[in-house]
Structure 1
Amino acid sequence: MPTAATPEPAVKNPDGRFGYVPVQTRSARFKSTDVADFEAVTGREAVWKYIPITKFADLLAEGLDGSSYAVESTEHADVTVDWVDRDDSRIGSAGSPEERASANAWTSFEKALAVTVTGEEPKEITVTRSALGNGPRGAHVIIEAKPFSQATVILQNSGEARLTENVEIILGESANLTVVTVQEWDDEAVHLSNHFASVGRDARLKHVVVSLGGRIVRVNPSIHLAGSGSDIDALGLYFADAGQHLEQQVYVFHDAPRSRSRVNYKGALQGTGAHTVWIGDVLIGSKGAGTDSYEQNRNLVLTEGTRADSVPNLEIETGDIVGAGHASATGRFDDEQLFYLQSRGITEEEARRLVVRGFLTDIVARIGAPELEQRLLLAIEAELLSTDGK
């Protein structure tokens, strides 16, 4: 549902020399569901400056394929998976695009894939997308957890893709929802995804991003803690091989009292040209009294020729908080850990694999879906065995 564009908020420059300047608070970014409201991307914009835009110009151009596609999903009596029209009342309730690729997907999609969760008993459902093809496509997904419901929803992505999409996640009062998005695309796939989540009163969301396959993969979660007592655990795991670009820009907005957030992303890089980007924005708004927030990013560099960009940001508009902090670190193997393992008779190669496995599986173990966790551990092991990258 396109909405009318509004000018980017601006204020008078204090020194009077340069007229008006954009409002700097993270929540004041320009938003629109109409791609025509966004200028052509140059790569100099803050949201695009780390990513090679020339490799997905087709996803920034108008005229994407917005038709429905083949989907497989597990069945459960308390979960429905179907296609809904653009006038569905849930569309636009969790957030709106802040950049051109996201708006292009919003303008282009014909029907939205809707996953609706009811029932207070825990359940797990997997939605698999593996036949998107290699044409430029725009898509929209809704995941709604009704009040007091519980579920784990896994979005499993594989095969070919040139996809830009928006995923709206809506949690009703006291809902408990885990959303896991797994990117195991083919080597040349491009996937640009924006996740918008609205978390209601006393609701709890666990949002997990796992990016392993694809040439360019960017998953940007934007979490709005809208209800008092709302809670988010935002977890991420990524492993970049030679020539891969894996990016995630995380935004958590504490917009209600007594909300809590924990952001923890970990990544490993190996092979020439492997590039990862993590940007973490946390905004504690004026209504966020009693907020408890912490975000961190850790990157482990395994070979020469890689690059990891890590940018944590924290903005606080109220002094009445429990705590807030952020941390970022990028480094190589811990020589003391390697020495300890080798002194116990373990070869250097195996010691390195053990260190990396222990570093990454901390995130895997917190997903809460045993079969998926086991499969991801095997996938990480396969990545480690490919020490020269792809």
Structure 2
Amino acid sequence: MSAENTTTTLAGELFAPGVGTQAGPPTTPAAGTGTAGEATPGAHSHGGPAPTGSPAERFTSTDPEAFGAPTGREEEWRFTPMRRIRPLLDGAPSDAHLQWDTDLPDGVELTSVEADDPLLKGLPEPVDRLAALTRARSGGAAVVRVPAEARLDRPVTLRLSGTGAEEVVWGQLVVEVGAFAEATVVLDHAGLARYSGGVAVLVGDGAQVTLVAAQEWARGSVHGGQFDAVVGRDATFRQVVVTLGGDLVRLVSNVQYAGPGGTAELFGVYFADETQHQEHRLWVDHAVPNCTSNVLYKGALQGEDAHTVWIGDVRIRPTATGTSTYELNRNLVLTDGARADSVPNLEIETGEIVGAGHASATGRFDDEQLFYLCSRGIDAETARRLVVRGFFADVVQHIGIPELQDRLMGSIEARLGGLPGLDDQPVEPA
């Protein structure tokens, strides 16, 4: 890939006044939002006592040292196994790279920019030390550009494969989609690696973009990442995250709107096996009027010390009248010894909204569903597979690529081979 100088970028066009380069609220108060970490009078808040790590308290910076060295006691790191992620947080420079295999439809450009390029300076800022280290160590970024009004005949596919875990790989990807274009971008992660990657998707006005990120890393892999989306006026952004592999995967997804009428849909599926840690943190910033967001993540866990974490933060600022938002997380615990943490947070600073809500549920198999299937001649193991398949299918279908959907569902079903039989695993009501 060759470097390319750009004088006009979507980043400059997409950021609305007052949003600037922040992936979250500024560290100084935005107009009408009160002080950082303090809601305005009459604001409505769901979540734990302050400090909660909720959006109103979020700090962003491109300087890794501004965050300090995490100890594991901080709100944003308290669920993360610090020993396992320490090789990334140490931040050692590295020239290691993942292997890239690409499939680019006609009209799509893949190039690269240097670290001082105006495009990168206009991106949403890192929200934690790891993301800041990634920005600093990557030395630039790969850039995928989809022209305005394009209608691609197939998805843009980037297959990123690790070849070893001796050195940390730092990577940055920017996806620019022009106004009124329609595009699907697939990031397919596999192999063995210690990888920290940043992904920024800039969605032009009226565009429709789907980003699919699949994590099927080999055991022993560690993956940390920040996903940012800036959604233009009347644009639609859909993100589907599927996390199945790796020893530790920690992904932070952020959405902000550059104009009214934007829609963001964030879907996720994760399946943690024995000793795996999978952590997904989401933050949606409603700062402009008449925008919509919908979040649906589903996870399953099996095996001793399997651990999943889902944190969902949504902030509706005083200026975001006409907002409609909902977030839902559901977890299915398949065996003893597994743990799922789920924390939805909702900050509402205006009463002039269409609707807002959140929900979270964690439980075991529904014994009535299993009894129903078994009473109709289906053996216990097949019944379990059917229940889990149905649990995930309504999320996976949002990928919209049949062959990829089939592959990922096949990976999920292969993991179910490790489940004990019905007689060996007591079933409790959810």
Task: Deviation per CA, 1:11-69: give whole Å up to 9, x if none.
Answer: 799xxxxxxx9897614422111112221110000110001011121211132325654
The answer to whether the 8 Å contact 2:177/2:207 transfers is yes
Q: Secondary structure, in 3 states, of the residue corresponding to 1:197? A: strand
**1:226 corresponds to:** 258
Mark the runs of 5 or more structure 2 residues left unpaired by the alignment: 1-20, 30-34, 39-49, 421-430
Structure 1's 7 and 374: CA in aligned 2 closer, same or farther, altered over 3 A?
Answer: closer
> Equivalent residue for 2:68?
39
Show the counterpart of 1:350.
382
Amino acid at match of 2:103: T
1:105 deviates by 0.8
2:310 equivalent to 1:278? yes
Per-residue CA deviation, residues 161-210 of structure 1 (Å, 9 max, x unaligned), is 11112111111101100001000001000000011111010010001110
- Matching residue of 1:170: 202
CA distance in 2 between counterparts of 1:91 and 1:328 reads 36
Aligned-partner residue type, residue 116 of structure 1? R
Contact 1:289/1:318 (CA < 8 Å) preserved in 2? yes
Give SS of 2:415's match. helix
- For 1:262 and 1:353, locate their aligned partners in 2 and report how far apart those are by CA, in whole Å: 27
Query: Does 2:133 align with 1:126?
Result: no
8 A Cα contact 2:54 2:345, kept in partner: no
Distance 2:37 2:150 in 1: 51
SS, match of residue 91 in structure 1: helix
> 2: distance between equivalents of 1:379 and 1:305?
22
Please say if 1:262 is aligned against 2:302.
no
> How far apart in 2 are the matches of 1:251 and 1:146?
24
Residue 391 of structure 2 aligns with which residue?
359
Alpha-carbon separation, structure 1, partners of 2:131 and 2:37: 30
Please say which of residues 163-172 and 237-246 is displaced more in the overlay: 163-172
Cα distance in 1 for residues equivalent to 2:218 and 2:37: 49
Instruction: Tell me by how many angstroms 1:92 deviates.
Output: 4.1
Give the letter aligned to residue 285 of structure 1: R
- 2:99 counterpart SS class: coil
Report matched runs for 1:55-204 at 5 Å.
Answer: 55-65=84-94, 69-118=98-147, 119-122=149-152, 123-131=154-162, 133-134=164-165, 135-204=167-236
Distance 1:175 1:12 in 2: 33
- Aligned residue for 1:16? none
Equivalent position of 2:42 in the other structure: none
**Residue type at the aligned position of 2:230:** S
Task: Check conservation: 1:160, 1:185, Cα contact below 8 A.
Answer: yes
Verify the 8 A CA contact 1:160 1:186 in the aligned structure 2.
yes
Q: CA deviation at 1:241?
A: 0.2
Aligned partner of 2:81 in structure 1 is: 52
Paired residue secondary structure (1:234): strand
SS in 1 for 2:118: coil
Q: Per the alignment, do residues 12 and 275 of structure 1 end up closer, same or farther by CA in structure 2, a change over 3 Å counting?
A: closer
Consecutive unaligned residues of structure 1, counting only runs of 5 or more, are 14-20
Residue identity over aligned pairs, in percent, reads: 45
Higher relative contact order (CA 8 A, sep 6+): 2
**Displaced runs of 4 or more, over 2 A:** 6-13, 21-25, 66-70, 87-90
TM-score (norm 2): 0.84
Q: Deviations over 1:226-254 (max 9, x none)?
A: 21000011000000000000010011111
Alignment partner of 2:233: what SS? coil
Do the aligned partners of residues 143 and 132 (structure 1) sit closer, same or farther apart at CA in structure 2, a change above 3 Å counting? Answer: farther
Residues 66 and 295 of structure 1: CA distance in aligned 2, closer, same or farther (over 3 Å)? farther
What TM-score do the two structures reach when normalised by structure 1? 0.92
Q: How many residues align?
A: 378
The answer (yes or no) to whether the contact 2:95–2:169 under 8 Å persists in 1 is yes
Give the corresponding residue for 1:377.
Answer: 409
Whole-angstrom CA distance in 2 between matches of 1:382 and 1:94: 39
The offset of 1:78, in angstroms, is: 2.1
2:364 paired residue number: 332
Alignment partner of 2:411: what SS? helix
1:295 and 2:324 matched:
no
Distance change (3 Å), C-alpha of 1:282 and 1:11: closer
Q: Distance in 1 between matches of 2:266 and 2:95?
A: 29
Distance 2:208 2:342 in 1: 30
Cα–Cα, structure 1 residues 263 and 70, in superposed 2: closer, same or farther, change >3 Å? same
1:306 and 2:335 correspond: no
Q: How far apart, in 2, do the equivalents of 1:23 and 1:257 lie?
A: 26
Amino acid at match of 1:358: G
Partner of 2:3: none
Mapped partners of 2:329, 2:341: distance in 1:
10
Q: SS at 1:81's partner residue?
A: strand
Q: Secondary structure at the match of 1:136?
A: strand
Contact 2:396 2:405 in 1 (8 A): yes
Match of residue 17 from structure 1: none
